[in-house]
Amino acid sequence: MDKLKAEGGVKVVELCEQLNVSSVTIRKDLKLLEDKKLVFRNHGGGTLSNPYAVDKHVNEKEKIMSGEKERIGQKAASLIEPNDCIIIASGTTVLSLAKILKPALNLTVITAALNVALELSTNPNIEVIMLGGVLRKNSTSVTGHYAETILDDFSGSKLFLGVDGIDMDFGLTTTNVLEAQLNRKMIKAAQKTIVLADSTKFGKRGFGKICSLEDIEQVITDDGLSLHTKEKLISMGIEVTIV
């Protein structure tokens, strides 16, 4: 439990070596802790919080960690340069970025998110290119073949990506497979991928895998991120910005 609280998660293999016991013993202990509702077991170990991301409506998500999301959005906005061309994916954290964007010079934004496009549409300095496709009501963003095809014609300097889960082994995920597929195309269309995610997203895993951690360059998150996770991200060559 001390290791879980310090690192957010434990692995059966690591505990076997550290405690000099068999994997059968560790698995039984994890099962006992799970029965007491102290641990959530997952593949190869356990975590303190439920590792499985649930597909919630965007209006519900927007109320969660709202202050942290606003600070993350402010930091992300400071990275945008004059006359930039960027891609903004979907999610409430990237929506916080859209609400803060007030460029003095021209900015081109490619987005799949209807709420992001509407937020930016009133700014005369921002040209919005809205991807077309099937509208997901839960996220108010589009997915599908049309959206993916349009991205073949663009190259952005930065992608600001929102996610439902960041698992240190499995990678970045979302609850929708089609959205994950579109996010992969966005990564290919951008020179740099910047993940905007509050600390509650770490240790969680959605149904659809977007990419591995090796495919991103920077993470902007809040100070709830554990030191262990931060150090692991940095060791992988990922820039970590804490707000």
- The domain spans of the chain are 2-47, 58-242
Cα dist. 96→89, 149, 198 in Å?
12, 27, 12
Q: Write the CA distances from 148 to 46, 129, 153, 177, 185, integer angstroms.
A: 36, 13, 10, 13, 6
Average model confidence (pLDDT) for the chain?
91
Place of tokens 């997203």: 201
More confident residue, 34 or 68: 68
Q: For the residues 124-153, what does the mean pLDDT come to? A: 92
Q: Give the confidence band of 224 by pLDDT, cuts at 50, 70, 90.
A: very high
Q: How confident is the model at residue 118 (pLDDT cuts 50, 70, 90)?
A: very high
Percent of the chain with pLDDT over 90: 70
Residue 61: pLDDT above 70?
no
Q: Does the pLDDT of residue 149 top 90, yes or no?
A: yes
**In a 10 Å sphere around its CB, with 0-12 CB exposed, 13-18 middle and 19+ buried, how is residue 98 labelled?**
buried
Q: Identify the CATH class of 58-242.
A: alpha beta
Q: Is the pLDDT of residue 10 over 90?
A: no
73-82 contact pairs (CB < 8 A, 24+): 73/97, 73/98, 73/99, 73/100, 73/196, 74/100, 74/243, 75/220, 75/241, 75/243, 76/160, 76/194, 76/196, 76/220, 77/101, 79/158, 79/194, 80/107, 80/158, 81/157, 82/106, 82/107
pLDDT per position as a tens digit, 186-209? 999 999 999 999 999 998 888 899
In 3D space, the residue among 221, 206, 134, 138 whose CA is nearest the CA of residue 172 turns out to be: 206
pLDDT at 177 over 90: yes
pLDDT digits (tens, 9 = 90+) for 66-110: 899 999 999 999 999 999 999 999 999 999 999 999 998 899 999
The per-residue pLDDT for 150 is 93
Q: What pLDDT is attached to residue 60?
A: 63
Query: How far is Cα 172 from Cα 193, in angstroms, rounded to an integer?
Result: 12
Position 46 confidence tier, pLDDT thresholds 50, 70, 90: confident
Q: Tell me how crowded residue 159 is: count the other CB atoms within 10 A of its CB.
A: 24
